[in-house]
A and B are shown apart, each in its own frame.
Chain A
Amino acid sequence: MVAIAVALGLMKDPRATSAQSPLQDPAQRPTFRIAIDAVRVEVSVRNRDKSVTGLQAPDFELLDNDVRQEIADLTYGKMPIDITIALDVSYSVTGAMLGRLRRAVVELMRDLGPEDRLKLVLFNNRITRTVDFTRDVRAVERAMSAAVAGGGTVVFDTIGVALVSALNPEHRQLVVCFTDGEDTNSTTGAEELIGVARRTRATLALVMPPSAPRPRGASMSRRDELYGTLVAETGGSRINIVPSSNLTDTFRRILEDFRSAYVIHFRPQGVDRTGFHTLRVSVRREGANVLARRGYFGG
């Protein structure tokens, strides 16, 4: 099963910049004790589809460019979440599926925490943010009801835009992209998109139909290879759905898995600041499955 994990970025300590979300209750705001240049890594730990909770910093081992790092801070379930829902409303996603999507997104709104927010992006040949980050269920409901399917699809472009615009460092960033995966008109190439994924810090969850069966010995299609690389780079996952899938449950599970991730902060030691840093995170627990993004760009 899917284990949603990790977002990462080279970030400033939000408290140090005194940035406050107007929606945030100061009393509930998480407290960070990280200096500038700290790196944040979001790590999901699961054991047989269940989140492993109660872990402490000593339970983790984190390697930055193969150099072990000291974990400066570890929190669990405290940071608010920004969810970007990117929905494919091309010709390939129409009819009953569109109706179920509407219901699933509206239901997801009801599961948001008190400081969580949701943004809605619809895309076919164009990428349109219909609702900016909000907690207004009715606004999302209205936007979903007005969604009309049609046109080609720019999946890659949309993923890039969603990743780039998921900026707010005070919130963990989750991008959920619902698509049939068939990209017809993107201008973004695979290498470019992977480059963007490595340079941003949102976690990507792809909700899409399963890949076509492959003959024995046949390699993965380039499309599936790309999607697999994208979710791995961002510490996210791909959730395969079929027409009978319960989209409401699917979206709810994605949010819960993401919410249950640990947030680790560390200050890189013993490595060059610039360039791409590979990350490896492990947990000293038997049977634990760890998901974290593969790396980050420093400098």
Chain B
Amino acid sequence: MIGRRALVLLPAAVAVWVAVSEASYVGQTFRSGGLGKPEGLPYVRSAPQTFRAGTDAVTVDVAVRLADKAVTGLTADDFVLLDNGVRQRIDTVDSAPVPLDVTLVLDLSGDQRGLWVDPIDPAAVATGVNERVRQIAQMLRPEDRLRVVASETYGTELIALQPASSIAPLRQVRSGGLASLYDTVVGALLQPVEPNRRHVVLVATKGKDTVSATSAPAVRFIASRSDVLLHVVMLETEADNEETRHRVQCMGITKDVALGLCWPTRRFWVPLMRATMSTIPLGEGGFNHPLLPDGLALAEAATLTGGALHQAAMFTEPTPAGVFRQAFDEFRQSYQLRYTPQGARREGWHALTVTVPGAPNATVRARRGYAITAPAAQPKRYATSPAPDASRAPATFDELIEAYSRDDYQAVTAALRSWQDPSPLIRRLDATGNPWPAAPRREAALALEIAESGLFSRRQATQDEARNLLLRFQRLIRHPLEPDAFERYWLWAELTIVQGKIRPGLAEPFVRHALTRFPEEPRFLLARAIVTDQMFPFMGAVPSSAQTLTGTATQSHAANVAQQYGAAIKLPETATEARVRLAWFLHRVGRDDDALAQLDEVQDESSKDTVMRYLHQLFRGHIQMGLGRHDAAVQAFRTALERWPGAQSAQVALMNALVHTGRREEAAAMAERIQTAPGDGADPWLAYWHGDYRFYLAAMSTVREMIR
């Protein structure tokens, strides 16, 4: 059976094969500017989320509502606050309004014009945006801040987060692109939130999405784990007008008079269009707009945050300003509870539970927890002078979070290696939500670490949970706009893990997904070939004649493997490894001449990938054995041992070859050496079938760097 954990080999120099990382939060990378971006306004970078006051006091914002009305007049005695399950004494309750950060998402996709033939006027679009911004801004207080994001082909930050008083009118706004509603909403939800502020996302949309990588259920999932208040306003009249224009211009007034003046994006993207609501004519000029499944998911997303999806009532249609006015004044009436944690560990993740026993029917909304980072959390300091707690492997989920908070990956890795079954960790991560709400990438990195442990668990159920964890997070880490460096590295780390399992059926969907995001990535192309290669049945390293391919299906599979390795051979980053692996595959299917020809093309004398340099010679020896050239095999195995002294695989292979050449005494001496070799020396061969798993630590190191 496969051992729980394969040998992980990190060659002396691990190839760095992807672009330089972009150390940015997912949510901080809206495309900035647009035609009307104010000049000279620095992007406001949020501070790390710690929720700590000057002393050890903690403040928690709590909104209490009963039948959509804010419950006022509550005192400290009315609240029960549990910090990591320990009831806390609330020192003060402040009901002063909480400063808000408002992100206004405006749908500028589709047809912003009258007729199709009318030119787009960016200035006119800017005027409309300015008016909406003005309506919101006039309700904000000096301490509040506003950000404006346009949702069209890309989510574009028109106005960076800033006090309303400093916002300059936009002069021109580009519009008319495709609709990226879900991506833009996710981007807004993932914006970092500063301590003691509340983030409100107000989305005004016509309810269509044509290009998002994110789905409406994904929006719902992310919303459920965020601390954002989300309100969605359906611009039904605009949607109806657009629909009417579309019918007239594109489809024609009658079936015989088709103008063909389709709005290009609509015309091309209709097959991919997703809608949150349908448009059902009610009669002259009127439409009914029942929510479709996507709309219901979006509505649920808003509800989960304490917000709502707003549609037209009988005689009124909501506007962003109207929603803001009606809902947020109440929401703003949050309580700020202040307490000094007692009976709970200071550092690490703190799960919070707030209730109001005297109002059992009230809805109490508070963030689900907070993290305190240890002051001595500098990674390098830990490396040389670990804090007392850091020297011990975390034994609980909370301790694990705490260790991860202070970048003590050594302790985390040690804990995960020793955990009998990481299943509870996976479930806890699900239930608790992101321990670092302002740093979604950190949670995504932790998910990788836990998933690696889970996938190599001996329990099938745990393996399934780990697989699902990866599936979930590979959706969450997608940049709303376009694939970025973090996603690339995260996916690489993910692929190293699933390849390590040597379960091609498990790995294949992950590889396919990675290639949809990064079609040209050499390591992903090679991973595809490796996984397809793994699908070929093999018995150890056995290249027996019984395995010679027969039948159309198997020949087809072999051709597929060769073609996929061929794609990786074309790329300089993976050419050597792809050739070596292709050669081994060809050997296994009985094509030793072709295998040798592949190895003859390998130029690895100066290669830093010592694993592949070794395997090249090991495989060359086996192929020569297959061709009956035993002396050449002996030479190749000796070269392999020069490249990786002490490797058992080459020693055994050399011993076999010596036996075949009649040199029994030498063979016996080699057998003696094999059996008495000290220690547990590394052997690159043991890593071969685990594909890129040998790079797991390297990939994780990069991911960890990117979350700091």
Chain A interface residues (CB < 8 Å from chain B):
90-92, 121, 124-129, 150-157, 160-161, 164-165, 167, 180, 182-193, 195-196, 199-200, 222-223, 225-226, 297, 299
Contacts and interface: CB of A to CB of B under 8 A. Distances in A.
Contact of B544 (A127, A129, A200, A222): A222
B3 A126 contact: no
Interface string B597-638: 000000000000000000000100010011000000000000
Given A164-B668, A165-B672, A187 B541 contact: yes
A183 B539 contact: yes
Nearest to B458: A91
Interface in B631-661: 648-650, 652-653, 655-656, 659-660
Interface stretch (B61-69, B526-534, B673-681): B673-681
B3 A152 contact: yes
18 contacts: A125-B686, A126-B681, A154-B648, A161-B655, A164-B659, A164-B670, A167-B664, A180-B1, A184-B1, A185-B686, A186-B540, A191-B544, A192-B653, A192-B656, A192-B660, A199-B660, A225-B546, A226-B539
Nearest to B657: A192
A76 B664 CA distance: 28
B660 A129 contact: no
A195 B660 contact: yes
A189 B618 CA distance: 13
Interface string B1-37: 1111011000000000000000000000000000000
A223 to B, nearest CB: 6
The 7 A-B residue pairs whose C-beta atoms are closest, nearest first, are A129-B675, A165-B671, A187-B649, A190-B544, A92-B1, A183-B540, A152-B3
B545 interface: yes
Given A189-B626, A191-B544, A226-B542, 10 more contacts: A127-B652, A128-B677, A157-B652, A160-B655, A161-B675, A187-B618, A188-B541, A188-B656, A189-B540, A222-B547
A164 B660 CA distance: 11
A127 B684 CA distance: 16
B685 A187 contact: yes
A290 B648 CA distance: 38
B155 interface: no
Nearest to B7: A125
Interface residues of B, number: 44
A165 B668 CA distance: 5
Interface of B: 1-4, 6-7, 539-547, 618, 622, 625-626, 648-650, 652-653, 655-656, 659-660, 662, 664, 667-668, 670-672, 674-677, 680-681, 683, 685-686
Given A164-B668, A222-B539, A91 B659 contact: no
A165 B648 contact: no
A124 B3 contact: yes
A266 to B, nearest CB: 21
Contacts of B670: 164
A157 B648 contact: yes
B675 A165 contact: yes
Given A127-B674, A225-B546, A164 B655 contact: yes
A128 B680 CA distance: 10
A167 to B, nearest CB: 5
Contact of B652 (A128, A183, A188, A190): A188
B667 A164 contact: yes
A242 B632 CA distance: 44
A183 B107 CA distance: 60
B659 A196 contact: yes
Nearest to B619: A187
A200 to B, nearest CB: 7
A53 to B, nearest CB: 33
Interface core residue of B4, B655, B660, B675 (most chain A CB under 10 Å): B675
A154 B648 CA distance: 10
Most chain A beta carbons < 10 A, residue from B7, B542, B667 = B542
A154 B332 CA distance: 67
B674 A125 contact: no
Nearest to B633: A192
Nearest to A156: B540
Nearest to B502: A184
A185 B660 contact: no
Contacts of A150: 3-4
B624 to A, nearest CB: 11
A189 B675 contact: no
Nearest to A223: B539
Nearest to A119: B675
Contact of B656 (A126, A154, A160, A167): A160
Contacts of B542: 156, 189-190, 222, 226
B3 A128 contact: no
Contacts of B680: 126
A238 B648 CA distance: 27
Contacts of A190: 539, 542-544, 546
A167 B669 CA distance: 11
B668 A189 contact: no
A177 B672 CA distance: 18
B521 to A, nearest CB: 29
Contacts of A165: 668, 671-672, 675
Contact of A91 (B1, B547, B664): B1
B3, B656, B676: residue with the most chain A Cβ atoms closer than 10 Å = B656
A61 B699 CA distance: 66
Contacts of B541: 156, 186-189
Nearest to A124: B3
Contact of A189 (B543, B672, B685): B543
B538 to A, nearest CB: 10
Nearest to A299: B662
A129 B671 CA distance: 10
Contacts of A222: 539, 542, 544, 546-547
A153 B540 CA distance: 9
Contacts of A192: 622, 625, 653, 656, 660
By CB atoms of chain B within 10 A, which of A157, A184, A185 has the most?
Answer: A185
Nearest to B587: A189
Contacts of A191: 543-545, 625-626
Contacts of A196: 656, 659-660
A227 to B, nearest CB: 11
Contacts of B662: 199, 297, 299
A49 B622 CA distance: 41
A127 B671 CA distance: 10
Nearest to B547: A222
Contacts of B2: 91, 152, 184
Given A189-B544, A195-B659, A195-B660, A128 B539 contact: no
Contacts of A157: 648-649, 652
Contacts of A152: 1-3, 6, 686
A157 to B, nearest CB: 4
Contacts of B681: 126
B685 A153 contact: no
A3 B671 CA distance: 28
Contacts of B545: 191
Nearest to A161: B671
Contacts of B685: 185, 187
Nearest to A165: B671
B3 A125 contact: yes
Contacts of B672: 165
Contacts of B653: 187-188, 192
Contacts of B668: 164-165, 167
Given A187-B653, A196-B656, A299-B662, A161 B674 contact: yes
A198 B132 CA distance: 88
Most buried by B among A188, A189, A190, A196: A189
Nearest to A191: B544
Nearest to A150: B3
Contacts of A225: 546
B622 A127 contact: no
A129 to B, nearest CB: 4
Contact of A195 (B543, B656, B686): B656
